[in-house]
Structure 1
Amino acid sequence: MNDSASPQEITTLVGREVYSNNGVFVGEVEDVRLDLDQEVVTGLALGRLNDELFRGRIARGKGVMIPYRWVRAVGDVILVNDTIERVKEGEEEEEGEVVA
């Protein structure tokens, strides 16, 4: 991500669609997790999840929290690395990173 970009309001993240680098829809941002001491976003709470990616792993109507370090770009949509797609295949890169 471009650190020289001007800071944006955190609330602008809410409602944005999240896609993997490969163009697969992941979900929609419902909330953000913050580290108030460091004043940084540490995670994104996603809802309206892609049924194909999360079927059988996340109960319908539930969401997931993904680490903000997975975010690659923020614009009209948010791009995350393709680690999220590996959840579908049962090959989570890091244990405990996707939380229901």
Structure 2
Amino acid sequence: MDADATPQEITTLVGREVYSNNGVFVGEVEDVRLDLDSQAVTGLALSQLSDELFAGRVDPGKGVMLPYRWVRAVGDVILVNDTIERLKDETEDEEALA
């Protein structure tokens, strides 16, 4: 990859919607976390979070940081592995126990 292309590609991540492999909306990329030594993206800062996944876990107006290793594909949207959906399953389990 051409080093000159990297900054432009990184900035194009901002504003993209993030979905799980199964099509569950996760949030929208607000910023990226970079490792300056390796010049690699290490995380995605998400805002506009899914109520379905994050209700009761993240205060309204707050965001989350997803590890970039969870990213499976980047295109018009960003796909992450379905690890994120375990949040929803844990919430349902907690409600069942209550």
Would you say same fold, with TM above 0.5?
yes
1:55 to partner: Cα distance? 0.3
Once residues 54 and 88 of structure 2 are traced to their aligned partners in structure 1, the CA distance between those partners, rounded to angstroms, is: 6
Query: Which residue of structure 2 aligns with residue 19 of structure 1?
Result: 19
TM-score calculated relative to the size of structure 1: 0.81
SS across alignment from 1:90: helix
TM-score calculated relative to the size of structure 2: 0.83
> Which protein has the larger Cα radius of gyration, Structure 1 or Structure 2?
2
Pairing of 1:25-44 with structure 2 (within 5 A): 25-44=25-44
Query: Which residue of structure 1 aligns with residue 68 of structure 2?
Result: 68
SS across alignment from 1:61: coil
* Structure 2: gaps spanning 5 or more residues: 92-98
SS across alignment from 1:53: helix
Matching residue's letter, 2:63: G
1:90 to partner: Cα distance? 2.5
Matching residue's letter, 1:53: L
C-alpha deviations, 1:57-79, integer Å up to 9, x for none? 00011000000000000000000
Query: Which residue of structure 2 aligns with residue 96 of structure 1?
Result: none
Once residues 88 and 62 of structure 2 are traced to their aligned partners in structure 1, the CA distance between those partners, rounded to angstroms, is: 16
Matching residue's letter, 1:87: L
* Structure 1: gaps spanning 5 or more residues: 92-100
Pairing of 1:84-99 with structure 2 (within 5 A): 84-90=84-90
Q: Considering only aligned residues, what root-mean-square deviation do their CA atoms show, in Å?
A: 1.8
SS across alignment from 1:10: helix
Once residues 33 and 90 of structure 2 are traced to their aligned partners in structure 1, the CA distance between those partners, rounded to angstroms, is: 25
Matching residue's letter, 2:50: N
Which one has a larger percent helix, Structure 1 or Structure 2?
A: 2
Question: Number of residues paired by the alignment?
Answer: 87
Q: Structure 1 runs of 4+ off > 6 angstroms?
A: none
